[in-house]
Amino acid sequence: MTHTVLVTGVARHIGARVAGALAADPGIGRVIGVDTVPPPALTRDGGALLGRTEFVRIDLRTPEIAQVVSAEDVDTVVHMSLVSEPAKSRSAMMEHNVIGTMQLLAACQRSATVRKVVVRSTTAVYGSSPHAPAVFTEDTEPVDVPHSGYAKDAIEVEGYVRGFARRRPDVVTSTLRFANLMGPRVDSPLTRYFAQPVSPTVFGFDPRLQFVHEDDAVEVMRRMTLEDRPGVFNVSGDGVLLLSQCVRKAGRTALPVPSPAFGMLGMLARTAGLVDFSPEQLALMSHGRVVDTTRLAAALAWRPKFSTAAAFDDFLQSRGMGADRPAALVDWLSGLATRR
Amino acid sequence: MNEIPASETPSGEGARIIPISSVRGTPPPGPSNSVDERIAELLALLRRRVVGDYEVDEFGFDPELNDKVLLELIRPIYRHWFRVETLGVENVPAESGALVVANHSGTLPVDALMMQVALHDEAHRAVRLLGADLVYQLPVLGHLSRKTGHTLASREDADRLLRKGELVGVFPEGFKGVGKPFSERYKLQRFGRGGFVTSAVRAGTPIVPCAIVGAEEIYPKIGDFSTLARLLGLPYLPITPFFPWLGPLGLIPLPSKWLIEFGEPIRTDKFDPEDADDPMLVFNLTDQVREAIQQQLDALRLRRGPAFPPFF
C-alpha cells in the first residue's frame, strides 16, 4: 500500500529526522514536510537528513494546512511541531502549539483520506509534585496540573487530540509522551543547562530525570507511523539519573540555590528570552519526573536502544564533556595511597 | 602492597587508575581485611561517587549511598544508643514481596530509621517505607528519604513496589501515632483508611505485623505549640521535658532500651485481588493487623521491663 505521510515541524532537527526516516522507507509513497519556516537543513548540510521529503511552507496557524491535506490525499499525519520554547514570545508559542494543532485536527476531521494521526507530546503533562506518585503511568491522574508554559500547551493539545479521536473513531490516533530528548544534535533548555560551567540546582532537592535518545525518539515515531497502535504511550529510556548525578557525570559544579532565588534566576533567563522558564521547570528541578514505559514496549515489542544514562553519556561524549578532572584527582589520591 | 592490575591505565596520566570493575567484581571482603584494601575500596567508592557512576532505581533509591554511607551513620545509634534487639526476623520473607506494618511513635520518626537498620542488618533486606507527603515537600529531607529507598504513601507507589517483590513498610497511624502525647504511649491509634491492606490484598503479599518498643520514651511529648505549628504548616510542634528549654540539646533523644519484633505473617494470597474492593474485608483485615500489633506491643513491653535500665 502506498502511503502519503504529512509531517509537521520539519524545520526543527527532530522533525526533519523523522521525515527523513520515513522517506527512507520504501513502503511509503510520499513524505510531505510542512513548517512555518524552511528547514535549515535544506540550505546547509542536511539535504541527506530530509531525503526525498517534499517541503511545503505554510503557516500552521492558518487553514492552509487543510488545503495540503486534501489536495495531496494525505493518509497519515505525523504531528511534531510542538515547540517547547518561545521563538518570539510566549503568546506566539502558544498560538503555534495550540492553534496549530486545532487547525491540523480540523483538517484531518474533514478529510476522507486520513486514517492515522500520530502526535508528539511530552511527559511534562504529568507535572512534577511532591504529592504525585513516584512513577507515572499513562493512566495516572496528574495531581498538580501544570498551568503555564509548554506543559500547559501540551495538555491542551492532548485535549484536542482526545476530542478528535472521539469524533473520528475510524482514525487510528496515537499520542506519544516523550521524556526530555538527549543526544549529540539535541538543542534544548536542558542541554544548554548542562553546557554551562556551573549548574544552579534547587537547594535541598535532587530530582529524578529521564532522557530519551534522539535516535530512539526517531525510531519510535517511525514505528508508530508504520504500525497501528492507537492510544497514549510514554516514551523514555530505561532507568533514571538524579540531577546531581548528571552534574557529576558532566564534570560540572553544582550551585545549590534556595528555591525562591532559583525561581528568580529562571524568571531573569525567561525575560532575557533565553529559555521558557515556567514554574513547571522549577517544579521539575525540585521534584523530578519518572514515567513507566511498559505499555510502549508491549505495543511495539521493542525497547529503546539507549537507556537514560547511555543517552546522557552519548550527549556528553559528543560535546567533549565528562568528569575527567575529578576522576583524575581521585586517581592521584589513590596513587598516593597505594604507593606508600 | 595492594595488587591491583594497572592494565587499563590511560597513557599520559601521571596517576594510576584503579579499574572499578575489578574492585566491584570481587565479593564483599570480610572484616579481616588489610588496611590497604580498605583504603583502596574507599577510594574506588569515592571515584564512583565523584564521576556519577552508580545506579538509582525509579524511586530514587541509591543502594550504594544507603549501605556505605547513610546506614553507617545511623548504625552506632542503633547499636549503642538504643541498644536495639530485633526479634522474629525469620518472619520477614527472604526475597519475595511483603508489607511490614508497624506502630509509630517518638515525636520524630526515629523508629522508621531503626526499623530500616534492623531489616538491613538482621534480615538483609532494604525496606521501602511509605512516607507522608510533608516529607517530600521539605528540602533535604525529601531527597534523602528517596535516596534511602522510601517513597510517598500513595496507592500507585505501594502497588508498584509490592509488584516488584520489594519489602514495603508502613506506619498506618501516621502523625496521629508519632505525635501522640506521652500519656498515651503504646496505645495504637486509628489505622488510617486501610489503604495498606488494599495494596497487600491486590498484590497477594503477606502482611508482617511489627511492634517497636522504646521509641515512645525518646522524646516524651508533654505538650504542643499547636498555634505555632499551624502557622508553620506542621502537624504538631512538641514540648518535651527538654525541648525547647535546652535548645538544640533538647533534640538529643533519651537513650531508652529498644525492642523490635516482627510477628507471624498474615497471609493475603487466599483472597482474590478483586477482594481489595470489598470494604468490609478490608476493615476486618485492618482490625486483625491492628489487634496483632497491639498484643505484640503489650507482650514486648512486659518483656523489656524498665525503659531506662537499670534505673527506671
In a domain? residue B310: no
CB–CB of B251/B237 below 8 Å? no
Q: Which of A126, A135, A143, A243 is the best residue to mutate to test the B interface, defined by the most B CB atoms within 10 Å of its own CB? A: A135
Angle between helices B35-51 and A324-339 (to 10 degrees): 170
Query: pLDDT tens for residues A119-144?
Result: 999 999 999 999 999 999 999 988 87
More confident position, B281 or B17: B281
B270 assigned to some structural domain = yes
Interface test with B, best of A199, A203, A206 (most B CBs within 10 A): A206
**Residue-level length of chain B:** 312
Residue B14 lies in a domain: no
Smallest Cβ distance to B15: which of A242, A248, A332? A332
Whole-angstrom distance, CA of residue B147 vs CA of residue B296: 31
Q: Quick one: pLDDT band at residue B14, thresholds 50, 70, 90?
A: very low
Question: Distance between CA atoms of B167 and B124, rounded to whole angstroms?
Answer: 11
What is the CATH number for B114? Answer: 3.40.1130.10
Average pLDDT over chain A reads: 89
- B206/B268 same-domain check: yes
Q: Residue B39 above 60 pLDDT?
A: yes
**Separation in Å, CA of A228 to nearest CA in chain B:** 29
Contact B60 A288 (CB under 8 A): yes
3-state helix, strand, coil split of chain A in percent (to 5) is 45, 20, 35
DSSP state of A95: I
Tens-digit pLDDT profile for residues A314-338: 999 999 998 888 888 888 888 887 7
Asked whether the ipTM of the predicted complex exceeds the cut of 0.85, the reply is yes
Burial class of residue B112 (count of CB atoms within 10 Å of its CB; 0-12, 13-18, 19+): buried
Task: Say yes or no: B44 and B78 in one domain.
Answer: no
| H/E segment holding residue B152 | strand B151-152
Helix crossing, A100-110 with A64-71: angle to 10°?
30
Residue B152 in domain: yes
Q: Does any domain span residue B284?
A: yes
How many structural domains compose chain B?
2
Residue B195 lies in a domain: yes
Structural contact between residues B229 and B123, judged by C-beta atoms closer than 8 angstroms: no
Same domain? B295 vs B204: yes
- Is B57's pLDDT higher than 90? yes
**Cα Dmax for chain B:** 72
- Residue B239 located in a structural domain: no
* B73 and B30 together in one domain: no
Strands (E), A203-304: 208-209, 211-213, 231-235, 241-242, 253-257, 290-291
Q: Are residues B92 and B31 in the same domain?
A: no
Q: Are residue B45 and residue B103 in the same domain, yes or no? A: no
- Same domain flag for B85 and B157: yes
A145-199, pLDDT tens digit by residue? 888 778 889 999 999 999 999 999 999 999 999 999 999 999 888 888 898 888 8
B223 lies in a domain?
no
For B27, the domain range is 20-51
**Do B43 and A241 lie within an 8 Å CB cutoff?**
no
**Hey, is the C-beta of B56 within 8 angstroms of any chain A C-beta?**
yes
Note whether B83 and B129 are same-domain residues.
Answer: yes
CA-based nearest residue in chain A for residue B158? A133
B167 and B200 share a domain? Answer: yes
Residue entry with cell 499525519: A77
Instruction: State whether residue B43 sits within 8 Å of chain A by CB.
Output: yes
pTM, 2 dp: 0.88
The per-residue pLDDT for B20 is 43
> Is B174 found in the same domain as B41?
no
Give Cα A100 distance to the centre of its chain: 17
Percent of chain B whose pLDDT exceeds 90: 72
Q: What is the per-residue pLDDT for A294?
A: 96
Residue with the bigger pLDDT between A51 and A269: it is A51
* Pair B43, B124 in one domain: no
Pick from B60, B226, B210: nearest CA to B142: B60
Higher pLDDT, A340 or B66: B66
For chain B, give the mean pLDDT.
88
* Residues A198-235 as b or e (16 or more Cβ within 10 Å = b): ebbbbebbbbbbbbbbbbbbbbbbbbbbbeebeebbbb
> Do B149 and B260 lie in a common domain?
yes
Query: Does the distance separating the beta carbons of B156 and A135 come in below 8 Å?
Result: yes
